[in-house]
């Protein structure tokens, strides 16, 4: 994998937060982005609960968890902010969730999903303290591995001086 700087997030609206997260101002901390769709079964059953566990385990001074709602199918059903708000509430999600900017054209992917070259949902992205994408994975990651990967980024990345 060629490591590259994490592209900006193109989000129409952030839920669960007062201030819109911005990858640039998060430099110095590790960032985990979970791209999901509320009707994606693997997202709801595995990935979202895992992201909640991650947020509980690590300190916010080390790691920030962000959700990204990348709707690329069933737009009518899961495309509204009201639907996402209800999903966040029912699944007791405590971290910020951004609505990825819808693409244009019939089969267009949302903007951030496109920029990150995501293949589907769930996708997990781990960004180091310098803003570089270190992991980018479609599908499920085992807890043991994810715990090790996150700790590795927390400890290995140089803290900006």
Distance CA 75, CA 64 (A): 28
> Judged by CB under 8 A, which stretch of 20-28, 102-110, 130-138, 140-148 contacts a second copy?
140-148
Say whether residue 12 binds a second copy (CB under 8 A): no
Distance, CA of 109 to CA of 120 (rounded, Å): 10
Question: Which residues make Cβ contacts (< 8 Å) with residue 133, sequence separation at least 6?
Answer: 3, 4, 5, 6, 125, 126, 127
Selected from 57, 60, 108, 117, the binder of a second copy by CB under 8 A is: 57
Among 54, 97, 111, 127, binds a second copy (CB under 8 A): 54
- Cβ atoms within 10 A of the Cβ of 101, count? 17
Interface positions with a second copy (CB under 8 A): 39-41, 44-45, 50, 53-54, 57-58, 73-74, 76-78, 80, 82-87, 89-91, 142-152, 155-156
């Amino acid at each position: 994998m060629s490591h590259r700087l994490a592209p900006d997030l193109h989000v129409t609206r952030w839920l669960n937060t007062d201030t819109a997260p911005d990858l640039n101002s998060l430099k110095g901390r590790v960032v985990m982005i979970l791209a999901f769709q509320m009707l994606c079964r693997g997202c709801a059953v595995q990935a979202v609960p895992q992201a909640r566990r991650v947020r509980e385990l690590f300190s916010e001074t080390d790691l920030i968890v962000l959700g990204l709602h990348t709707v690329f199918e069933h737009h009518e059903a899961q495309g509204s902010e009201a639907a996402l708000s209800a999903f966040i509430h029912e699944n007791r999600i405590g971290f910020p969730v951004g609505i990825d900017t819808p693409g244009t054209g019939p089969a267009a992917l949302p903007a951030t999903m496109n920029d990150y070259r995501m293949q589907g949902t769930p996708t997990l992205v781990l960004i180091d303290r310098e803003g570089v994408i270190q992991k980018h994975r479609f599908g499920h990651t085992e807890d043991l591995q994810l715990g090790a990967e996150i700790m590795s980024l927390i400890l290995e990345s140089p803290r900006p001086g």
